[in-house]
Amino acid sequence: MYTLLSGLYKYVFQKDEYCILILGLDNAGKTTFLEQTKTKFSKNYKGMNLSKITTTVGLNIGTIDVGKARLMFWDLGGQEELQSLWDKYYAESHGVIYVIDSTDERRLGESKNAFEKMISSEVLEGVPLLVLANKQDVENCLSVPDIKTTFSDCAPKIGKRDCLVQPCCALSGEGVDEGIEWMVKCVIRNIHRPPRQKDIT
């Protein structure tokens, strides 16, 4: 009877945990996106003032529950010297959210290079990629087709991975729910796929 009840309890309440990395150049809006996500998806979370967010030097973490999935976010600093730390987290991650500042055409090539380097890592093979075209509230910003054109030569490296380019405004929250729901769907589906290369010993 105890086993039956504990099994039932686990079935109803136990969450499957997934680690999601939030990457992108400095000033892209990663920490703002994380705070907005926590505010939207956690009932009792009293969000911080988004305008008070400053550049990330280490990492920020956050957890949300979406249905039976628990997403644990690692938001890493995007400054050039901090990008060398990104790959230390790849092996643990089930998904990557890559944030782009759509108002910064000048640094779009730099952002593409950092993205390309990241997806070239074998450890991330098969991991879903959510690319956020952030700051869509700003007039004359780059559109999703503009960004897709610049990133188009990454397609062979993306390969068969799930990949979505989602327009978003981390400040207002627009596009955040769509992005998170897509990621949840992908990581759950991925769990039922054959193991990634790194898992084969």
Ligand X SMILES: Nc1nc2c(ncn2[C@@H]2O[C@H](COP(=O)(O)OP(=O)(O)OP(=O)(O)O)[C@@H](O)[C@H]2O)c(=O)[nH]1
The kind and range of the H/E element at 33 are helix 30-41
Q: Is 42 exposed, middle or buried (0-12, 13-18, 19+ CB in 10 A)?
A: middle
Give the x-and-dash track for 92-121 against ligand X (CB under 6 A): -------x----------------------
Q: Could you give the CA distance from residue 46 to residue 35 in angstroms, rounded to a whole number?
A: 10
- Residue 6 touches which of Mg ion, ligand X, none (Cβ within 5-8 Å per kind): none
Neighbouring C-alpha atoms within 13 Å toward the C-beta of 164:
18
Residues numbered 49 to 68 that lie near Mg ion (CB under 5 A) are 56
Single residue of 135, 147, 163, 176 touching ligand X by CB under 6 A:
135
Give the x-and-dash track for 74-93 against ligand X (CB under 6 A): ---xxx--------------
Asked if 170 interacts with ligand X (CB under 6 A), we say yes
Is 79 part of the annotated catalytic residue set?
yes
Q: Which of 64, 57, 133 is nearest to 101 (CA)?
A: 133
User: Catalytic residue positions?
Assistant: 79
User: Residues within the annotated binding site?
Assistant: 24-31, 56, 78, 134-137
